[in-house]
C-alpha cells in the first residue's frame, strides 16, 4: 500500500544528545530504551562511580501493557499523499528519543527513571 510523503519546509534542532536519533527518511522498526537515576543533591557533589541499576526494582520490573484483542482491519486511501509541515523548531532531543521525518512500521520505546533526593541534615549545612 502506497505510503505518504512528509514534506517539511524548515526544521531546526538545537541539541541532540544521549543516544538520540534525528532521522530523515523512512524506517522499519524503532526500538529505544532509556534508564536513568535522577539524583538531586542539596550541595554540588559529584561522584564518578555510583549508582547500580540492579539494586532498584524499577529497572527490572515489567511494565504492564494491555494487549490489543480487537481484530482491526484497516484500509487506507491517500487522496492527497503529502504531509506538509511548514516549520519545526526543537530546542533539545535527549535520552533515547527520536525525531523522525518519514514513515515507519513498528515503534516501541521505553523509559525508566528513578528519582532520588539527597538533602543535608539541619546541622550539617555546608
In the complex, least distance from residue 46 CB atom to other proteins, rounded to whole angstroms: 9
Measured distance between the N- and C-terminal CA atoms of the chain, rounded to whole angstroms? 65
The interface with other proteins within residues 3-22 (CB under 8 A) comprises 3-4, 6, 8, 20
In the complex, least distance from residue 123 CB atom to other proteins, rounded to whole angstroms: 11
The interface with other proteins within residues 49-108 (CB under 8 A) comprises 49-52, 55, 58, 61, 63, 65, 70-108
Closest Cα partner for 19 from 39, 35, 40?
A: 35
Confirm or reject binding of residue 33 to other proteins (CB under 8 A): yes
Contact residues for 10 (Cβ-Cβ < 8 A; gap 6+): 86, 87, 88
In the complex, least distance from residue 10 CB atom to other proteins, rounded to whole angstroms: 9
Query: How many positions of this chain bind other proteins (CB under 8 A)?
Result: 79
Q: Within 10 A of 38 (CB to CB), how many other CB atoms are there?
A: 9
In the complex, least distance from residue 90 CB atom to other proteins, rounded to whole angstroms: 5
56, burial (CB in 10 Å: exposed 0-12, middle 13-18, buried 19+):
middle
Residue with cell 523548531: 89
Amino acid at each position: 500500500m502506497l505510503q505518504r510523503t512528509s514534506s517539511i519546509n524548515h526544521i531546526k534542532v538545537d541539541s541532540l544528545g544521549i543516544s538520540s536519533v534525528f532521522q530523515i527518511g523512512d524506517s522499519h522498526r524503532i526500538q529505544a530504551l532509556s534508564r536513568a537515576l535522577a539524583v538531586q543533591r542539596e550541595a554540588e557533589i559529584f561522584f564518578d562511580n555510583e549508582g547500580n541499576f540492579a539494586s532498584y526494582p524499577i529497572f527490572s520490573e515489567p511494565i504492564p501493557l494491555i494487549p490489543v484483542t480487537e481484530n482491526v482491519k484497516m484500509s487506507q486511501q491517500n487522496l492527497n499523499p503529502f504531509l506538509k509541515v511548514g516549520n519545526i523548531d526543537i530546542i533539545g532531543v535527549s535520552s533515547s528519543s527520536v525525531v523522525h521525518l518519514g514513515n515507519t512500521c513498528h515503534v516501541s520505546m521505553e523509559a525508566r527513571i528513578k528519582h532520588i533526593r539527597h538533602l543535608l541534615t539541619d546541622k550539617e549545612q555546608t
